[in-house]
Structure 1
Amino acid sequence: MNPAAVALVATTAIQIAAAAAALTLPAIAPVVARDLGVPTSMVGTYIALLYVGSSTAALAGGGIVLRVGAIRLSQLCLIACAAGLALGLVPALAAVAAAAVLVGLGYGPITPASSHVLAKTTPREKLALTFSIKQTGVPAGTALAGLVVPPLAVAYGWHAAVLAIAAACALLAFAVQPLRAALDADRDRSARLSAGQLVAGLRLVAASAPLRTMAAVSFVYAGMQMCVSSFIVAYLAEEIGLSLVVAGLGLTTANVAGVAARIVWGAIADRWLSARAVLAWLGALMAAASALAALFAPGWPLAALLAVAAALGATAIGWNGVYLAEVARLAPAGRAGLATGGCLFFTFVGVVVCPFLFGVLQRASGSYALCFAAAAGVCALAAAALGLSGRFRAPSGSA
């Protein structure tokens, strides 16, 4: 297997494991909340704390990867995820809150580390497709948590289910050790680790207009992605009147479409359109899909509802790989991880802020439809700003 393929397989496996770890406790939130004596809705606080840790660690990760190497950093991240899951077994709210932050600290640097590896091992003409394939690890890991963790919890108890995912993360950390010599050969032991590394990625983004644009767009797109994932089931169940099981098909459909679309958009960005053009079109299509979702009514056929859910997934969940490939392309040589960490800070902030605002608007208006209409407007503005911010470059494969 050639080095590019090895790097892609390894980083995708690591991404799947980290994503599964992030969603392990939320996947069994009802039973965990019952044992802790808190409302299940507290899972929202868990997710928020996780992304606070992720956003902070993503900033640091871009600098740490230069000193220790991307594989070593990924190993440390997997161990942090495993330790966080183990901490979540302690029957105390403070411990679970700390667990969320610790899992987030492990989750955040995974993407900057993988970007560093893939940027140096992938041919430029295959960059967007490769990053898109790797990013399928996020919905794949989410799906894995949903498919595996609840049945394990039913069969053996939720503590055993959590420990199983923690053990898988730890085992993968050891399994990738043989790859370190080759993939971490560019690490710089003289690189300094300091508090300044937390802002080095931000400084890099601030100094580059194209990177600033990518960071701003990712704030909106990532926020929309989390809004779809967080609220589509509630919308279909509470306003449209579907059963919880049938409403869950909407979320499943969106994620399946998102996995497939990530690969399709990556291929398009490599062969026919520039990454910026693809991202602008995705924003416009995201807005259109959200506007259609705002028109949902109890009389709509299930097939039509699922078709719109698929469109939301293909756009709001399908954009990430193209975005990360473009960030890596725009970064100075050898600084893909640093640039990715800086941009991901804004991505993760969008993940926290946008669903919060969506929820505030829903509680104030009592209407999920109004929220999706508002989201459509925001996505349309982001797409327009991206489209007007500069001339589209040619696809990398045409050079």
Structure 2
Amino acid sequence: MLIVVLSTTLVLAFSALVALYPSAIAPEVSAALGIPSSAIGLQVSLVFGGAMLTSLVGGPLTRRLGPCRASQTALLLLGGGAALMSVPNLLVAVFAALVVGLGYGMTNPSASVLLVRFTPLERQGFIFSVKQTGVPLGGMLAGALAPSLALGIGWRQGLWLLAGLALLGILGLQFKRRSWDDRREPGLNWRRSPFEGIRVVWAHKPLRYLAIVTLCFSTVQLSLSSFTVAMLVEDLDVSLIAAGAVMTMVQASGIAGRLWWGWIADRIGHRLIALAIIACSTSVGTVLIYFMSPAWPLAGVVMTLCLFGLAALGWNGVYLAEVARLAPPDRIAEAAGGCLVFTYGGVLLGLPAFALLMTVVERYTDVFGLLTCASLLSLLLLRAAARADDSAFGSEAANTRGESPSRLR
């Protein structure tokens, strides 16, 4: 199990590292492409657009290839995208971002299949959360390594190095391909029904509510990751260097949060309740941010944002573990891919929605206050998911003559 967790975590961390590498060296890349450095942020949107496309077929493609080969394919796309990003041409850069996104979107369906297969049910919340620490870990690696590589060997050479690491990962995973892919379905036509994952999600009411929840969660998460530095500098009069340091601490709190909430979910034995606690905590955080002002001591601001990050950045592992539990046993990859379409939809919609609200209220803290509505909506949706799950579970129990199977909720 250790090799499975380590492999899936590293693949996810590598995908985040490649996706965020250009943003971490925006001045260098923008100068080479002849565009403003602010336009590099659109690259992230293109990455998640590509990830959404792959999520549509990630489930059946994983079943056909097997989770190990699917992970290798993801690394191939990520490495190829990194190599393409080294070409100083705007059209190639757009295409490269989409290729990276295609690889990014393949990581979670394959990882979900492996973790469900090799992880005891009562530990899945924590193990899924360990795997999801790969995202903030990759972000931190991008911030730490990309500038050093750009100054030391050149930003293009740094991307070639990432492509080489992808090849090493592909070779390393090959040793496990026989045992991990022994249940693949080589005759499955994965292109026949690209919306199968969404159909699986929409056909099961608890999954349907949970998919909409992720729109709210991912919107809040994206807003925190994207606008914390701007809020600190423009609204709270914090220096840029100090704001960058605070942002690093917030991302670190996200790693701690993913481990913490995974452990909590397994301890209480009910992941929907854990997600509801996260939603409540996020609501409190958005309200506190609304009241922040330059009069607040910096230590209070840091503590508030880190506690907020603990919840707003820490939900992913518990969420994906619950999706795997609610999904039909033979449709786990499809359910993960279908729900992630909604997750990436929140990422794509969250940034422009936040920017639009900024044109109305003009203060970042006020917009974060408005995001309380998204957190409260997610709480209502989680309650609806719990009720729908109770109803479905009751029907199942009735069909088994009242004998309730033991399963972690």
> What is the TM-score when the length of structure 1 is the normalising length?
0.95
Which residue of the partner structure matches residue 295 of structure 1? Answer: 291
Contact preservation (8 Å) 1:116, 1:335:
no
Three-state SS of the structure 1 residue aligned to 2:357 is: helix
Matches within 5 A, 1:1-399: 4-196=1-193, 198-391=194-387
> Aligned partners of 1:388, 1:62: CA distance in 2, in Å?
26
> Aligned partners of 1:311, 1:371: CA distance in 2, in Å?
18
Change (3 A) 1:99 1:331: same
> Aligned partners of 1:75, 1:273: CA distance in 2, in Å?
33
Change (3 A) 1:268 1:385: same
Give ranges in structure 2 of 5+ residues lacking alignment: 394-405
In the TM superposition, what whole-angstrom CA distance separates every residue of 1:228-257 from its partner, at most 9, and x where no partner exists? 000001100111111111011221121111
Change (3 A) 1:390 1:193: closer
> Aligned partners of 1:78, 1:363: CA distance in 2, in Å?
40
Could you tell which deviates more after superposition, 285-294 or 186-195?
A: 186-195
Q: CA RMSD in A?
A: 1.6
In the TM superposition, what whole-angstrom CA distance separates every residue of 1:48-86 from its partner, at most 9, and x where no partner exists? 111110011012111101011011011111111111111
Three-state SS of the structure 2 residue aligned to 1:357 is: helix
Change (3 A) 1:398 1:158: closer
Please report how far the alpha carbon of residue 313 of structure 1 lies from its aligned counterpart in structure 2 after TM superposition: 1.1
Moved over 3 A (4+): 391-394, 396-399
Change (3 A) 1:137 1:294: same
Please report how far the alpha carbon of residue 176 of structure 1 lies from its aligned counterpart in structure 2 after TM superposition: 1.1
Contact preservation (8 Å) 2:200, 2:331:
no
In the TM superposition, what whole-angstrom CA distance separates every residue of 1:366-388 from its partner, at most 9, and x where no partner exists? 21111101111221121133124
- The letter for the 2-side match of 1:126 is R
- The letter for the 2-side match of 1:328 is A
- The letter for the 1-side match of 2:93 is V
Please report how far the alpha carbon of residue 364 of structure 1 lies from its aligned counterpart in structure 2 after TM superposition: 3.3
Please report how far the alpha carbon of residue 398 of structure 1 lies from its aligned counterpart in structure 2 after TM superposition: 6.5
> Aligned partners of 2:3, 2:86: CA distance in 1, in Å?
35
> Aligned partners of 2:196, 2:385: CA distance in 1, in Å?
25
Three-state SS of the structure 2 residue aligned to 1:82 is: helix
Change (3 A) 1:305 1:255: same
Please report how far the alpha carbon of residue 270 of structure 1 lies from its aligned counterpart in structure 2 after TM superposition: 1.1
> Aligned partners of 1:122, 1:53: CA distance in 2, in Å?
29
- The letter for the 2-side match of 1:283 is A
Please report how far the alpha carbon of residue 389 of structure 1 lies from its aligned counterpart in structure 2 after TM superposition: 4.0
Could you tell which deviates more after superposition, 155-164 or 230-239?
A: 155-164
- Aligned residue pairs: how many? 394
In the TM superposition, what whole-angstrom CA distance separates every residue of 1:156-191 from its partner, at most 9, and x where no partner exists? 211112222222122111111101111111111121
In the TM superposition, what whole-angstrom CA distance separates every residue of 1:326-383 from its partner, at most 9, and x where no partner exists? 0000111132111100000000000110121001111333211111011112211211
In the TM superposition, what whole-angstrom CA distance separates every residue of 1:116-156 from its partner, at most 9, and x where no partner exists? 11111111111111100111111111111111111110112
Could you tell which deviates more after superposition, 175-184 or 165-174?
A: 165-174
> What is the TM-score when the length of structure 2 is the normalising length?
0.93
Identity across the alignment (%): 36
Please report how far the alpha carbon of residue 397 of structure 1 lies from its aligned counterpart in structure 2 after TM superposition: 7.6
Three-state SS of the structure 2 residue aligned to 1:190 is: coil
> Aligned partners of 1:334, 1:7: CA distance in 2, in Å?
20
- The letter for the 1-side match of 2:54 is A
Three-state SS of the structure 1 residue aligned to 2:329 is: coil
> Aligned partners of 1:339, 1:86: CA distance in 2, in Å?
31
> Aligned partners of 2:273, 2:156: CA distance in 1, in Å?
46
Which residue of the partner structure matches residue 397 of structure 2? Answer: none
- The letter for the 1-side match of 2:282 is M
Could you tell which deviates more after superposition, 122-131 or 356-365?
A: 356-365
Which residue of the partner structure matches residue 401 of structure 2? Answer: none
